[in-house]
Structure 1
Amino acid sequence: MITLKNVRVERFAVDGSFNISRGPKTEVDVVYCEVTDGTYVGRGEGTPIYYEGETADLCAEAIETRARQSGPLTRDALLKTMMEGAARNALDAALWDLEVQATGTPLWQLAGLPEPRPLITAYTISLNDPDTMKADARAAAAKGYPLLKLKLNGENDLLRVAAVRIGAPDARLIIDANEAWADVDVGHMTATLKTLGVELIEQPVAAGQEDDLMGVMASLPFCADESCHVAEDIERIATTFQAVNIKLDKAGGLTEAIRLSEAARARGLKTMVGCMLSSSLGIHPAFHLAQTADWVDLDGPALLANDRDGGFSFEGGRISLPG
């Protein structure tokens, strides 16, 4: 029988400050848990979806509550007994890891995913004044990142993107409005951004207001983030978005994220596999799903002051498994 061995909240400092339209973050709290079958131990980590009201303490409480319930502690059971979110993600990851330890079978084989290889990952340029974003983009390009993701807020965004383009003239660009374009002429904005080499617009409008994109003559594809958490959300957003950002903390684990990826593909949507701020443990399952994605945004550990020991390697703009 599988039981919960340990659950706790851990805090990681951000390298500098991580700024988006909702405000800055200088540290991130994650929920860490371990499960055991009496012989082997599996580990998992989740980052609370703060805009959904989650906190690390609440996630830890949810994990402890689920562990006290009757019934098996399995991935399939979690889908039926826990809401999506970071708590379920941490438990789901721990259960996958336990099976890896117990069977000696790599995660990619257990999950029916491609054998992992190094991947180009986006590197996030935090929301800031244009000159600072230009300098940050120049520094990221100097480290070898060929794909940059810019955080915007609906104010002076064109100036920010133009500045980044000067700082990193050869970089591919993705922008993330984090729901902040309520007062922006989205059609005109996308046309101008296309001339600056932007290739994707993430979450321009607030979740629940997807219909605002109906009829917009956009020059660039839209990617749903806050608007899409689980597989059942795909039918609702498939007519206004052309891609979906799959985050395991939103989906509630790799088990549901695989279902979400398959549902998106079935509706002709492209996929990005992204992450919250997290350690390498937090993105380990996501890295395996990212092998199937059109865009990869797994720079969470690279934005921390210090990662866990034995974390992912970030070199030349690519993320690679340790060792």
Structure 2
Amino acid sequence: MATPPRTLSARHESLPLARPFRISRGVKTAADVVTIAIAQDGAVGRGEGVPYPRYGESVASALAAIEKQQTAIEAGVGREELLSLMPAGAARNAVDCALWDLEAQLARTSVFATLGLNEPLAPIPTALTISLDTPAAMHAAARELAQTALIKVKVDASDPAAQLRAVREAAPHPRLIVDPNESWSMKELEGLQDLMADLRVDLLEQPLPAQEDRGLEGFLSRIPIAADESIHTVADLEGLPSGYTVANVKLDKAGGLTAALDLTRHARERGLGLMTGCMISSSLSIAPALALAADSGFVDLDGPLWLAEDRRGGVSLADGLLRAPDAGFWGAAE
């Protein structure tokens, strides 16, 4: 029997942030996302991707990549076929997640039930991010988060010791993730080991530039180190330096939930711990990532919390715990 025809639409949305988001590479005031809708037989599947300039992506390039495969997608291409049609990245992520949503809507079940996850998903502790600023400003931001479970601190190489001390002084109890976003050298990494141990840092994320991280081969860090920019897909696992002990899996890097699930499986087989991360995005990006977060040691899915206004029915935060979107927000309700 022929597959009912599909129609695909893609558009750019610029979602203003409630406040600037600063990291070592620059500052954001809006989340520029590509939103996909695939309609078939009365159902509509949605997906969102966040093109990232660090990876050579733009809104224009993502939309062009989607348009290039529009005929194949509308003809009924499946998620597994999509892996060979489109490269990993934000464009494929948006399409893949829309296909997951569409399949769930047509089957009248949830994606999470399909994956064998219990629903409703329990609230998940997520990292709440302190963006890069002066130590005094970071101290003030940390004071507001002092009662949460997990804080992620954006630092650079200007004065990371002062930045970290300021945060820990204001928030003595939460677990800490430190994220230099590739801005450190081995000098900073080695020189800050004792301080990070004293400050009880739980995870250090991508301290070195991805192209210059060979120094981590054989490096015995006092703090577990997570690969972020250094790992996108399963293919990156083979050359990953041994100093990394955690993989930060993001749907936009992997190119969708399908590829991210495969990456998490292979990462576990190699003995790596798992972190689920995100870009600054709406809840439409976060809902699929919850399927990974349920089994991750670290969860960093606060992207929508930076928006001035999220999508209706999306995730919510209470006491540092991320609550799943409303039933049917993404993937049909059972």
Work out whether the TM-score is over 0.5. yes
Show the counterpart of 2:84.
80
| Deviation readout 1:168-187 (Å, 9 max, x if unpaired) | 11111100011111263422
Residue pairs, 1:21-40, within 5 angstroms: 21-40=24-43
Stretches of structure 1 lacking an aligned partner (at least 5 in a row)? none
Show the counterpart of 1:298.
301
Q: Following TM superposition, where does structure 1 have runs of at least 4 consecutive aligned residues deviating by more than 6 angstroms?
A: none
State yes or no: 1:197 paired with 2:200.
yes
TM-score by length of 1: 0.95
Shift of 1:209: 1.9
Show the counterpart of 1:121.
126
Show the counterpart of 2:243.
240
Shift of 1:234: 1.4
Show the counterpart of 1:136.
141
Show the counterpart of 1:152.
155
| Deviation readout 1:58-117 (Å, 9 max, x if unpaired) | 212211211124864210111011000000000001000001111112111223445422
Show the counterpart of 2:325.
322
Show the counterpart of 2:329.
none
Farther-moved stretch of structure 1 (228-237 vs 178-187): 178-187
CA distance in 1, matches of 2:116, 2:210: 31
TM-score by length of 2: 0.92
Residue pairs, 1:1-323, within 5 angstroms: 1=3, 3-69=6-72, 72-113=76-117, 115=119, 116-141=121-146, 144-182=147-185, 184-237=187-240, 239-323=242-326
CA distance in 2, matches of 1:216, 1:269: 15
Residue identity over aligned pairs, in percent, reads 42
Aligned residue type for 2:215: D
| Deviation readout 1:109-146 (Å, 9 max, x if unpaired) | 223445422100000100011000010111123xx422
Contact 1:211/1:240 (8 A) holds in 2? no
User: Quick one: structure 1 residues 251 and 4, their matched pair in 2 at CA, closer, same or farther if it must change by over 3 Å?
Assistant: farther
Aligned residue type for 2:83: L
CA distance in 2, matches of 1:15, 1:234: 36
Shift of 1:211: 1.0
Contact 2:48/2:93 (8 A) holds in 1? yes
Contact 2:218/2:242 (8 A) holds in 1? no
| Deviation readout 1:181-220 (Å, 9 max, x if unpaired) | 1263422312211101111100011112221112433111
CA distance in 2, matches of 1:73, 1:34: 15
CA distance in 2, matches of 1:28, 1:321: 21
Contact 1:114/1:291 (8 A) holds in 2? no
CA distance in 2, matches of 1:230, 1:297: 19
CA distance in 2, matches of 1:174, 1:210: 19
Aligned residue type for 1:31: V
Shift of 1:227: 0.2
CA distance in 1, matches of 2:166, 2:238: 37
SS of the residue aligned with 1:242?
strand
CA distance in 2, matches of 1:227, 1:114: 32
What is the number of residues matched between the two proteins? 321
SS of the residue aligned with 1:77?
helix
User: Quick one: structure 1 residues 25 and 79, their matched pair in 2 at CA, closer, same or farther if it must change by over 3 Å?
Assistant: same
Contact 1:187/1:219 (8 A) holds in 2? no
Aligned residue type for 1:56: V
Stretches of structure 2 lacking an aligned partner (at least 5 in a row)? 327-334
